[in-house]
Amino acid sequence: MMQFDKAGFDNETLIHIYKELLIPRLIEEKMLVLLRQGKIAKWFSGIGQEAISVGCGLALSADEYILPMHRNLGVFTTRKIPWNRLFSQWQGKSGGFTKGRDRSFHFGTQEYHIVGMISHLGPQLAVADGIALGNLLKKNKKVTAVFSGDGGTSEGDFHEALNVAAVWDLPVIFIIENNGYGLSTPSNEQFRMKQFIDKGIGYGMEAVQVDGNNILETYSTIKSLAESIRKKPRPVLLECLTFRMRGHEEASGTKYVPQELFDEWGKKDPVNNYENFLLKEKIIDTVMIAGLRKEIKQEIEKNLEITFSEENPVVDKQNELNDMYHPSSPDVYVASSEKKSEKRYLDAITDGMRQCMQRHDNLVIMGQDIAEYGGVFKATQGFVEEFGRARVRNTPICESAIIGAGFGLSINGVKSIVEMQFADFVTCGFNQIINNLAKSHYRWGQHADVVVRMPTGAGVNAGPFHSQSNEAWFVHTPGLKVVYPAFPSDAKGLLIASVEDPNPVMFFEHKALYRSISEEIFDDYYTTEIGKARVVREGNDITILTYGLGVHWALETLNKNQDISADLVDLRTLLPWDKECVEASVKKTGRVIILHEDTLVGGVGGEIAAHLGEHCFEYLDAPVIRSASLDTPVPMNVDLENNFLPKKRFEEQLKKLVGY
């Protein structure tokens, strides 16, 4: 029989805990009925695991963030979210938390300090790191708790998040619900160690194991861990042994689980055992139990009625599109003095970042080797001395965790700039950008105030993994902004605008431009508007649309061919791109060539060409031509690289198009 230690609990508290434990169980039982009646479509059951969610929900203060997963209804109910809002969320009704845009527990709410999961499981852990880092920087002594199933720990995200938390002493409790299965896969096909607490030593982290079905044990342990972490910030791994009494989700069945396990764990049911304990101790009686159950069931019915009578969200195309970005327009700054200095492209970026750090004391920069070393390109040289190590943070090699942490910081009201050492390495952080940064505002109204700096591009004979142009991946992702300056003045102004913008910005910086071009730029703080192209040179015969290094190739080509009268448009922002400026130029010249360093197929040029075909067809005197790199990786050898890049081909294509 399960042993409960009631020392330190008065009867009122013990009964309160019982009620909190009963609520998710009874809600779930009702959901299973509705599922059978075809009134709901899908259900991920946490029956058998409630003591963990409820223990955690009760142990933390209401203003401490909890990041639950798909079996943690008890977190939501102990945080006192109105049940009708939960039901509406599951039904996709307007009273939920995502305007019908996301399902089940895939939502967060600042009001209740809950950050729900995305389907990918593991990314949740690094978001907790970011929230915890925010708390650490604010010195507010708050703890963050994040959940993972045992299966989810097999993802690289788990390793990265725990490692960062350990290195940075982040006040996080990593709660692992070890229920023996990840969908149908049993633990022995998922990992080899005996128990999760054995991982603690590997991360230099305390690790504690509890009976996850014993509500007093989970609650007391999390409560005392939280108290201790508030005093001495550090991460702790908490392994909760438990079992999932139903299938992965209801449609998946339970054939893959031996009956003996159900029998064994059925005896350890968290609700029944606690109920029996309270009965035995005469803290409650059967009449009281019946009364409580009736009261909760009535409350469930009442709230379900509200949900079922609620309308579906109103369908409005513009509304959907508007919610891709945070509604506020970023502040516009005009340099307050005319004073200018000659700056290289790289120095302009450094200058912009430094002034942002001076203006926003809640801005943090994170990246590999960016502290004393100053970054591999020296963009943050001297920043540690000026702003300190708390705000200029060297990171382990873990792009995913750091971008995820950026999102967590944003949730906690802290801005961040994350430096990719090379844009190529963003592949290792892709998931956090595509699924967290880009989608969270649309999904649950949470913006991601993160700028990802992307030293990009070829021309430096660095081969396939230090030369790629990968801006098109992000242009295809609604919710991001993609910025790509070609000149020092724009590099500074756009970087400041990106930091001022509450939305996630992918900021591309061409490495070959860092030290090769310079310009007189304003010394003061100023913004260059995101989403606006610039006509760099005016002409009548043809429009050249380009960005980044392409602008300089085009200028060089035009200087060589003085007879060509071209409008040279520097797009500057690729998402959202300046259709108005481009269309105006195309309507004037009737001929367009789009030049980019990125490879041809699926490049930004294809999108622009398609748009012009749809919207400017009547004005065109020739086909829209794309000039781009070969569809191969970027080769290292200088001759091969030059052959790969479009610069030479561009001149021929341009001349041909002018004469078309």
- Please identify every residue annotated as catalytic: 466
The Cα–Cα gap between 11 and 284 comes to 9
Residue 228 CB partners (closer than 8 Å, separation 6+):
none
Q: How far is the CB of 121 from ligand TPP (least distance, A)?
A: 5
Count Cβ neighbours within 10 Å for each residue of 506-515 and write b for 16 or more, e otherwise. bbbbbbbbbe
Q: Which two tokens stand for residue 359?
A: 């203006």
Which one of 19, 103, 120, 587 is in contact with ligand TPP (CB under 6 A)? 120
By CB under 6 A, is residue 244 in contact with ligand TPP? yes
Applying CB under 6 A, which part among 116-124, 219-227, 299-307, 505-513 lies near ligand TPP? 116-124
By CB under 6 A, is residue 121 in contact with ligand TPP? yes
Which one of 48, 151, 455, 603 is in contact with ligand TPP (CB under 6 A)? 151
The Cα–Cα gap between 271 and 262 comes to 15
Task: Name the CA dihedral angle for 398, 401, 403, 407, rounded to a multiple of 10 degrees.
Answer: -170
By CB under 6 A, is residue 195 in contact with ligand TPP? no
- Got the DSSP string for 50-72? HHHHHHHHHHS-TTS-EE--TT-
- Kindly report the number of other CB atoms within 10 A of residue 336's CB atom: 11
Q: How far is the CB of 72 from ligand TPP (least distance, A)?
A: 9
- Identify the burial level of 125 via C-beta atoms within 10 angstroms of its C-beta, where 0-12 means exposed, 13-18 middle and 19 or more buried: buried
Residue with Cβ nearer ligand TPP (196 or 422): 196
By CB under 6 A, is residue 152 in contact with ligand TPP? yes
By CB under 6 A, is residue 408 in contact with ligand TPP? no
By CB under 6 A, is residue 71 in contact with ligand TPP? yes
By CB under 6 A, is residue 251 in contact with ligand TPP? no
By CB under 6 A, is residue 24 in contact with ligand TPP? no
Residue with Cβ nearer ligand TPP (119 or 322): 119
Site string for ligand TPP, 494-523 (x = CB under 6 A): ------------------------------
By CB under 6 A, is residue 439 in contact with ligand TPP? no
By CB under 6 A, is residue 150 in contact with ligand TPP? yes
Count Cβ neighbours within 10 Å for each residue of 425-442 and write b for 16 or more, e otherwise. bbebbbbbbbbbbbbbbb
Residue with Cβ nearer ligand TPP (182 or 605): 182
Applying CB under 6 A, which part among 114-122, 128-136, 266-274, 368-376 lies near ligand TPP? 114-122
Size of residue set near ligand TPP by CB under 6 A: 15
Q: How far is the CB of 257 from ligand TPP (least distance, A)?
A: 11
Residue 471 CB partners (closer than 8 Å, separation 6+):
454, 456, 482, 484, 506, 508, 574, 598, 604
Q: Residue 80 carries which side chain, given as an amino acid letter?
A: K
Looking at residue 117, the DSSP 8-state letter turns out to be P
Write out the binding residues for ligand TPP, residues 160-189 only, by CB under 6 A.
Answer: 177, 179, 181-183
Q: How far is the CB of 433 from ligand TPP (least distance, A)?
A: 15
Q: Minimal CB distance to ligand TPP: which residue?
A: 149
The kind and range of the H/E element at 574 are strand 573-575
The Cα–Cα gap between 167 and 440 comes to 27
Which among 486, 480, 530 is positioned nearest to 505, based on CA atoms?
480
Question: What is the contact surface with ligand TPP in residues (CB under 6 A)?
Answer: 71, 119-121, 149-152, 177, 179, 181-183, 244, 248
